[in-house]
Amino acid sequence: MNAERWIGALLFLPVPLVLVLFVRASLGLGLSLGLGVAVMASHRSYARPWVIARAAKRCLWCGANSAVERVAVSDPLGAAAWSACPLHATPLLAFVGWAERRAALLKAGILGSLLVLLAVGVAVVAGALPSERYSDAVALFQGSVALSVLPLSLFGPGCPAPTHARSPLPLHIQALVGSLTVVWLFRVVGVVWLVQAVRHVLGS
Ligand SMILES: [Zn+2]
């Protein structure tokens, strides 16, 4: 791996860190949520400029420094010179296009369940809800995210590719490690989280 891949992976680390803080709350619920929100809120300020500065030469699909083709994808945070290797423009457009066509479902499944998780967490910290409700909210979050990212990662890359697509979610996060890596993380973490959510519902 070249240095840029290592730096991209390093800049990606806050994402799983935030998820671990929210799901496990190992530092105590109040501190875990506070730290998680702070890491999440500050991530864009340093991760996005790093990615945008390299968007024209770094493949948004595989993360290699060999991109030669501009790809007409965008996200809610503004335009960038996103690009891909010649062979990777198609799966990238297919993946982002699949997400665009299901934008409302993805936002509800990922961002909506995250808001519910944080709201329940604050209510538990404030003493308005018993602590078991946070476990329920974690299971709901894991199940909702799994049901959102599993279909996207399984069916998105191979579906027919549009000529342009707008991602409902910020592209800089997947650009840090390459979208293909995120696809595999979605598949693996999606299965694990779905199993954990079902086990919680079944009480085992
Ligand atoms: Zn590539």
**Dihedral sign computed on CA atoms, order 173, 18, 187, 153:** negative
Domain limits at 106?
Answer: 3-202
Angle at which helix 113-125 crosses helix 29-54, to 10 degrees, equals 150
CA dist., res. 152 & res. 106, Å (int): 9
- How many domains are contained in the chain? 1
Cα of 58 to ligand 1 centre, how many Å?
A: 8
Distance 85 CA to ligand 1 centre (A): 4
Are 97 and 110 a contacting pair, CB within 8 Å?
no
Q: Quick one: residue 127, left, alpha or beta (phi over 0 = left, psi -120 to 50 = alpha)?
A: left
Ligand 1 centroid to 88 CA: how many Å? 5
Distance from the alpha carbon of residue 83 to the mean position of ligand 1, in angstroms: 9
**CA of 173 relative to ligand 1 center, distance in Å:** 16
Beta strands in 31-145 (DSSP E): 69-70, 73-74, 83-84
Higher-pLDDT residue of 1, 106: 106
pTM above 0.85, yes or no: yes
pLDDT digits (tens, 9 = 90+) for 38-82: 999 999 999 999 999 999 999 999 999 987 899 999 999 988 999
Q: Would you place residue 202 in the very low, low, confident or very high pLDDT band (cuts 50, 70, 90)?
A: very high
User: Could you give the angle at the alpha carbon of 95 between the alpha carbons of 178 and 145, nearest 5°?
Assistant: 85
Q: Which residue has the tokens 């945008």?
A: 52
Q: Is the pLDDT reported for residue 204 higher than 80?
A: no
